[in-house]
Amino acid sequence: MQIGIDGSRALRAKRTGTERYALEIIQHLLALPQAPHHQWRLYVDQMPMGDHPWALTGLPDHAEYRVLPARRMWTHRALASEILQCPPDVLFVPSHLLPFVLPARRLPPAVVTVHDLGYHAFPAAHPWRQRLYLDWGTRWSVSAATSVIAISHATAADLQRLLGADAAKIHVVHEATNPLPMPTGEAIAALRARHGLNRPYALYVGTLQPRKNLARLLTAYEQLCQQSDLPFDLVLAGNVGWLSQEIVAQAEQSPHADRIHLLGYVADADLPALIAGARLFTFPSLYEGFGLPILEAQSLGVPVMTAQNSSLPEVAGDAALYVDPTDIDAIAQAMLRLSQDEALRQELIAAGHRNVQRFSWAKAAAETFAVLEAAARQGR
């Protein structure tokens, strides 16, 4: 079987959730025991460079790159042209849209991963052109695909409820987190010194954008600071996203701005030390397709506070302190409890270690391969 994969998003230097998923699922697909018995073609818009894992180690013998000219609308022009001229037995798009080809039956059998429908839940959080493109592109991909992978049952339910997707073509395959190395005390101390983190801290990791509920998180933290001499700072780590200006302004103009740290994007190599050094992990998002940072915090022994909505209970399991994300007082009290209640902290830390065992990239790759194989057999 010849398997074509859109690998373009996996090459991004600053990888956020969907790009990290693309990299991990591709790497673990290529490492499956049955992988050498098939031909794998990675469609990319450039060769991997610098310290990218593929630049350092290369691809296994059973995989090859197909470098397509980087240009505007790459998916719908360069990739579409390639798969029409040299169609694989099955096409896998892990973190973007299917190429637009009419009629859709001209496409090879195709599998697409849908991560979330956040543009439906929070339309105002996207520029209107982007929102229209996301809606059109997701509807097209779901309708044209032979099979659809949803990264959570919550996303699968959204696909059926909001887009009327056929439940028979949806397969839930959970993401995972790699076993993160527990950093040494020296590594944690060095990272804290580099970022000026001189006190214990509550941590958020993710893009700075409205649906992450950071305005309420900041307000809850300010409320705690006003009530007492709070023994921990607040650290927000991640790229600025669309409509992040108000979040950044609120943090910078806060009367407690000296205790609020905006770190920007943190490299993958530094994340374990940043997370492991935290007193607690805060993730009160208003909507998530999965919520991978929760698993990363749990794997490193940091107690988690998160929201009781979307996919978050599905991912965090019994190993988180849940809050109503619209209740600022509840967010504040949860942060305070996780910083002070040692019995609760240890209970959640132990439960977190158990919870992460439910997820693995090897399992995700095996389940994804089964979907690809079935789609190839089904044909068009």
CATH code assigned at 207: 3.40.50.2000
Cβ neighbours of 22 (radius 10 Å) = 25
**Helix, strand or coil, per DSSP, at residue 295:** helix
Q: For CA atoms 36, 37, 42, 47, give the dihedral sign.
A: positive
Same domain, 306 and 373: no
| pLDDT at site 223 | 96
Q: How far apart are CA 299 and CA 249, in angstroms?
A: 32
- Describe the crossing of helices 361-378 and 17-30 by its angle, rounded to 10 degrees: 80
Same domain, 208 and 304: yes
Q: Which helix (H) or strand (E) holds 38?
A: none
Same domain, 350 and 367: no
Strands 90-93, 63-67: pairing is unpaired
Same domain, 14 and 117: yes
Same domain, 71 and 91: yes
| pLDDT at site 56 | 61
Give the pair of three-digit tokens for residue 93: 């798009």
* Helix ranges, the chain (H): 17-30, 53-57, 80-85, 118-121, 128-144, 153-163, 185-195, 214-227, 245-253, 271-276, 292-299, 312-316, 328-340, 342-356, 361-378
| pLDDT at site 13 | 67
- The domain of 153 spans 2-176+360-378
Q: How far apart are CA 282 and CA 294, in angstroms?
A: 9
Domains: count for the chain: 2
Q: How far apart are CA 29 and CA 60, in angstroms?
A: 11
Considering the entire predicted model, what is its pTM?
A: 0.90
Same domain, 345 and 364: no
Same domain, 254 and 290: yes
Q: What is the DSSP letter of 76?
A: I
Cβ neighbours of 328 (radius 10 Å) = 21
Residues, the chain: 380
Cβ neighbours of 194 (radius 10 Å) = 11
| pLDDT at site 178 | 83
| pLDDT at site 309 | 94
Distances (CA, A) of 171 to 103, 228, 370: 24, 49, 10
Give me the torsion for CA of 211, 359, 93, 113, rounded to 10°. Answer: -50
Same domain, 364 and 352: no
| pLDDT at site 72 | 85
pLDDT tens, position by position, for the chain (380 residues)?
999 999 998 887 667 778 889 999 999 999 999 999 999 999 999 888 777 777 667 889 999 999 998 778 899 999 999 999 999 999 999 988 999 999 999 999 999 999 999 888 878 777 778 889 989 999 999 999 999 999 999 999 999 999 999 999 999 999 998 888 899 999 999 999 999 999 999 999 999 988 899 999 999 999 999 988 899 999 999 999 878 899 999 999 999 999 999 999 998 889 999 999 999 999 999 999 999 999 999 999 999 999 999 999 999 999 999 999 999 999 999 999 999 999 999 999 999 999 999 999 999 999 999 999 999 999 76
Same domain, 138 and 30: yes
Q: How far apart are CA 263 and CA 254, in angstroms?
A: 16
Q: How far apart are CA 280 and CA 366, in angstroms?
A: 33
Name the nearest CA neighbour of 78 among 134, 86, 130. Answer: 86
Burial class (CB in 10 A: 0-12, 13-18, 19+), 253: exposed
The answer to whether the CB of 148 falls within 8 A of the CB of 114 is yes
| pLDDT at site 57 | 77
Q: How far apart are CA 239 and CA 264, in angstroms?
A: 5
Q: Which helix (H) or strand (E) holds 166?
A: none
Same domain, 197 and 343: yes
Same domain, 109 and 45: yes
Same domain, 139 and 249: no
Q: How far apart are CA 115 and CA 118, in angstroms?
A: 9
